[in-house]
C-alpha cells in the first residue's frame, strides 16, 4: 500500500482557492484460462499524484505518473496554471461553498497481495474440476480479476483521509450447443470486497456454484425464445440492482440532471410504486459493511448515504460539491476518480432498492403467464430513463410455476413508468459486487435489489 509522502505539500495550497491533492495506486491482477489454456497472466500497478484546484469556479487539474513530493509540487503548480488559463477564456462559474466539515478519515481497510502462482493454481484447479465433471461442454472460461484502489487525499477545506477499495472476483462461463448446433453460454461471478484470502482459499466451496451454472446451462440448452411484448415478470435481485444503477441511478446523478435527465422535473414527485425506496449507500447496509464501502470521496467529503427515492417519491440526487450548491442539497461523498490521472466525477457507490415483505415463492406463484428474469449480461440507460438490460438467464412462469428456460433476450422500458408497475417486492436483497461503470472513466460500483414483480417490455424473436 502507498505511504504518505504528500502531507508536507499542503503548505503549497494557495489562499482563496480550493485544492485537493491525491496520491493513488491502482493494482490489477488477472488470470484467464480458456478451455484449459492459460491465456492471460497479468499484473499491473499504476501510481501517481494529481491535484485539482478551483479558482473562481474554474477547475484546473493535473497529474503526473510519479508518486513523490516533487511530483506533488509539480501538479499543484500545473493545476493552478490550468485554472488560471481557463479563467482567462471564460466567465466565472459557481464558486464552491464551504465544505460540510473538516477532519481526518483514518485508513479504511487493507489491500493484501496474493502471489500470482496461488491465483494461477486456483484457476487451474477450478478449470480442471469443470473439465473432469462436465466433459460434455464445448468450452469453458475461468477469469480471476483483482482490482484495487489505494488513495491518500489532502484538501484545503474538507476532510483528509486514506481510502482503499480492494475487490477480488472470479467469473466462470460454460458453453454448450443446442440440438441444432447453436452455441449457448451461462456464467456467474463470485467474490466481492477484499482479496484472494477473503474469498478463494477453499476452491471446493466454489463447486456448488459451478454445479448451478451447469444446471442452468443445461436448462438453457433446451431453452426457448421469449414471446416478445409487454409482460408481467419477476425481476431477480441482480436485475433489480441493474435497474437501480442503470435505469434510475444515472438519471439522478446531478451532472446528468443538469444535462436534462428526466429526474429534473420529477423531484418531489411520485416516480415509482410506494413499495419502492432506493438509496445509494456510502459504507454500511443493514448494519454491516456494504460491498464497496466509501468513507471519504475524492473531494474530501465525508461519505453518507444518499436517499434517492422514498416510498416512490423522488427525494434527492447524487452530488459533488458544485452540484450540491446548485441544487441546494448536501454532498454525500459521490465524487470519485478511477485512476490517479482522473478528475473526480459524480459516481454511484452501493445503489440499492430496499427489500419488501414477499418471498420468492409468493412472487413466482402470483404470475399466471410471464417470466422470471434472473441474470443480466449488461445494461444501459438514457437521460429519459429508457433502459435496456440483456437477459442471459431466465425462465418462463406458467400458472405460478417455473417453466422452460429462456434463450438470451433483452428487456426494456422507461424507468419511472416501469417502477410504477412494481406491486410485489421480496424481503431479501441480492448484491452484484463486480460492477464497473463507464462514464468518461471506469469506476468500481456495487448494486443491489430485491426480487420485484412488475410489467416490462421483453424482446423475442
Partner 1 sequence: MSEIREFADLFDAILKEKNAEKYSYTLVKSEKQELNAESGEFKLMRTVFSNYTSLKLFRGTRMGNVSGTDLSEEGLRKLADDGIVAAESAEEDPCNDFGPDQGKDVFRQGVWEPDIDRFLERVKELLTTIKTDYPKINVMMAIASFDRHNWISRNTNGTEFEAFTGSYGLALEISASDGEKNTGISGTGFDFKDLDTPLIDCCNVRDTLEKTQNSLNPQTLTGKFEGPVIMTPGCAAQFLSMLAGNYMGSGVIMEGTSLWLDKVGEQVCSPMLTVSLNSFDERIIVGERGTQDGFRTEDVTLIDKGVLKAHMLSLYAAKKTGRPMLPNTSFNVVVEPGDKSLSELIASVDKGLLMGDFSGGYPGTNGEFSGVAKNSFLIENGKVGPAVMETMVNGNLGEIFKTIRGISKELLCDGGMVMPYIAFDGIVISGK
> At closest approach, how far in Å is the CB of 175 from partner 1?
6
Could you tell me if 366 and 360 are in contact, meaning their C-beta atoms sit under 8 angstroms apart?
Answer: no
140 to 159, contacts with partner 1 by CB under 8 A? 141
Which DSSP string corresponds to 83-125? HHHHHHHS---PPPPPPS--EEEPP-----PPPHHHHHHHHHH
Work out which of 171, 383, 402, 442 binds partner 1, going by CB under 8 A.
Answer: 383
217 belongs to the binding site for partner 1 (CB under 8 A): no
Could you tell me if 58 and 107 are in contact, meaning their C-beta atoms sit under 8 angstroms apart?
Answer: no
Could you tell me if 359 and 382 are in contact, meaning their C-beta atoms sit under 8 angstroms apart?
Answer: no
254 to 293, contacts with partner 1 by CB under 8 A? 255-256, 258-262, 264-265
78 belongs to the binding site for partner 1 (CB under 8 A): yes
For residue 247, the 8-state DSSP code is: I
In degrees and rounded to multiples of 5, residue 357 shows phi and psi of -120, -10
What lies within 8 Å, CB to CB, of 94 at 6+ separation is 57, 322, 325, 326
Question: Would you give the binding string for partner 1 spanning residues 402-441, x where CB under 8 A is met?
Answer: -----xxxx-xxx-------------------------x-
Work out which of 6, 21, 62, 354 binds partner 1, going by CB under 8 A.
Answer: 62
325 belongs to the binding site for partner 1 (CB under 8 A): no
298 belongs to the binding site for partner 1 (CB under 8 A): no
Report the distance separating Cα 400 and Cα 374, nearest Å.
16
Work out which of 8, 90, 104, 365 binds partner 1, going by CB under 8 A.
Answer: 90
218 to 237, contacts with partner 1 by CB under 8 A? 228-230
Could you tell me if 301 and 335 are in contact, meaning their C-beta atoms sit under 8 angstroms apart?
Answer: yes
Output 94 or 307, the one with its CB closest to partner 1: 94
77 belongs to the binding site for partner 1 (CB under 8 A): no
Report the distance separating Cα 42 and Cα 40, nearest Å.
6
175 belongs to the binding site for partner 1 (CB under 8 A): yes
329 to 368, contacts with partner 1 by CB under 8 A? 341, 343
> At closest approach, how far in Å is the CB of 199 from partner 1?
19
Work out which of 35, 125, 129, 169 binds partner 1, going by CB under 8 A.
Answer: 35
317 belongs to the binding site for partner 1 (CB under 8 A): no
What lies within 8 Å, CB to CB, of 313 at 6+ separation is 268, 269, 270, 271
C-alpha distances out from residue 244 to 152, 270, 284, 381, Å:
30, 16, 17, 11
Could you tell me if 216 and 404 are in contact, meaning their C-beta atoms sit under 8 angstroms apart?
Answer: no
> At closest approach, how far in Å is the CB of 379 from partner 1?
8
Output 44 or 365, the one with its CB closest to partner 1: 44
> At closest approach, how far in Å is the CB of 167 from partner 1?
19
> How many amino acids of this chain bind partner 1 (CB under 8 A)?
85
> At closest approach, how far in Å is the CB of 125 from partner 1?
13
> At closest approach, how far in Å is the CB of 335 from partner 1?
13
Which window, 79-87, 95-103, 287-295, 446-454, contacts partner 1 (CB under 8 A)? 79-87
Q: Among candidates 437, 444, 447, 438, which has minimal Cα distance to 278? A: 447
User: H/E element holding 184?
Assistant: strand 183-193
253 belongs to the binding site for partner 1 (CB under 8 A): no
Amino acid at each position: 500500500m502507498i505511504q504518505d509522502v504528500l502531507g508536507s505539500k499542503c503548505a503549497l495550497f494557495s489562499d482563496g482557492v480550493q485544492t485537493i491533492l491525491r496520491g493513488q495506486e491502482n493494482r490489477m491482477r488477472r488470470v484467464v484460462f480458456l478451455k484449459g489454456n492459460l491465456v492471460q497472466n497479468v499484473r499491473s500497478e499504476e501510481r501517481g499524484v494529481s491535484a485539482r484546484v478551483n479558482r473562481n469556479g474554474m477547475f484546473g487539474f493535473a497529474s503526473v505518473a510519479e508518486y513523490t513530493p516533487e511530483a506533488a509540487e509539480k501538479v499543484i503548480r500545473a493545476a493552478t496554471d490550468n485554472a488560471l488559463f481557463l479563467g482567462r477564456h471564460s466567465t466565472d462559474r459557481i464558486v464552491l461553498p464551504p465544505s460540510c466539515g473538516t477532519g481526518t478519515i483514518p485508513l479504511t481497510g487493507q489491500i493484501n497481495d496474493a502471489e500470482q502462482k496461488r491465483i494461477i493454481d486456483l484457476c487451474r484447479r477450478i478449470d480442471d474440476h469443470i473439465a473432469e465433471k462436465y466433459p460434455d461442454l464445448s468450452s469453458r472460461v475461468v477469469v480471476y480479476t483483482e482490482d484495487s484502489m489505494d488513495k491518500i487525499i489532502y484538501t484545503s477545506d474538507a476532510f483528509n483521509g486514506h481510502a482503499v477499495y480492494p475487490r477480488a472476483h472470479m467469473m466462470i462461463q460454460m458453453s454448450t450447443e443446442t440440438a441444432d448446433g447453436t452455441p449457448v453460454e451461462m456464467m456467474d461471478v463470485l467474490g466481492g470486497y477484499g482479496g484472494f484470502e477473503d474469498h478463494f482459499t477453499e476452491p471446493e466451496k466454489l463447486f456448488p456454484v459451478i454445479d448451478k451454472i451447469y444446471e442452468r446451462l443445461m436448462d438453457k440448452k433446451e431453452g426457448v425464445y421469449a414471446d416478445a411484448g409487454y409482460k408481467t415478470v419477476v425481476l431477480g435481485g441482480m436485475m433489480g440492482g441493474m435497474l437501480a444503477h442503470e435505469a434510475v441511478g444515472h438519471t439522478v446523478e446531478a451532472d446528468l440532471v443538469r444535462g436534462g435527465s428526466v429526474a429534473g422535473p420529477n423531484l418531489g414527485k411520485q416516480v415509482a410504486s410506494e413499495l419502492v425506496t432506493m438509496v445509494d449507500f456510502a459504507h454500511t447496509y443493514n448494519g454491516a459493511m456494504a460491498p464497496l464501502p466509501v468513507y471519504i470521496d475524492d473531494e474530501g467529503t465525508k461519505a453518507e448515504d444518499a436517499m434517492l427515492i422514498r416510498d416512490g417519491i423522488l427525494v434527492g440526487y447524487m452530488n459533488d460539491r458544485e452540484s450540491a450548491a446548485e441544487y441546494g442539497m448536501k454532498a454525500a461523498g459521490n465524487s470519485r476518480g478511477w485512476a490517479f490521472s482522473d478528475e473526480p466525477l459524480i459516481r454511484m457507490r452501493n445503489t440499492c432498492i430496499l427489500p419488501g415483505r414477499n418471498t420468492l415463492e409468493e412472487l413466482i406463484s402470483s404470475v399466471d403467464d410471464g417470466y422470471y428474469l434472473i441474470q443480466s449480461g449488461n445494461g444501459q440507460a438514457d437521460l429519459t430513463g429508457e433502459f435496456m438490460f440483456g437477459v442471459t438467464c431466465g425462465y418462463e412462469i406458467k400458472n405460478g410455476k417455473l417453466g422452460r428456460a429462456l434463450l438470451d433476450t433483452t428487456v426494456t422500458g422507461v424507468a419511472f413508468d416501469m417502477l410504477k408497475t412494481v406491486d410485489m417486492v421480496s424481503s431479501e436483497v441480492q448484491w452484484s459486487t463486480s460492477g464497473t461503470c463507464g462514464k468518461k472513466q471506469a469506476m468500481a460500483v456495487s448494486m443491489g435489489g430485491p426480487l420485484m414483480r412488475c410489467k416490462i417490455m421483453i424482446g423475442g424473436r
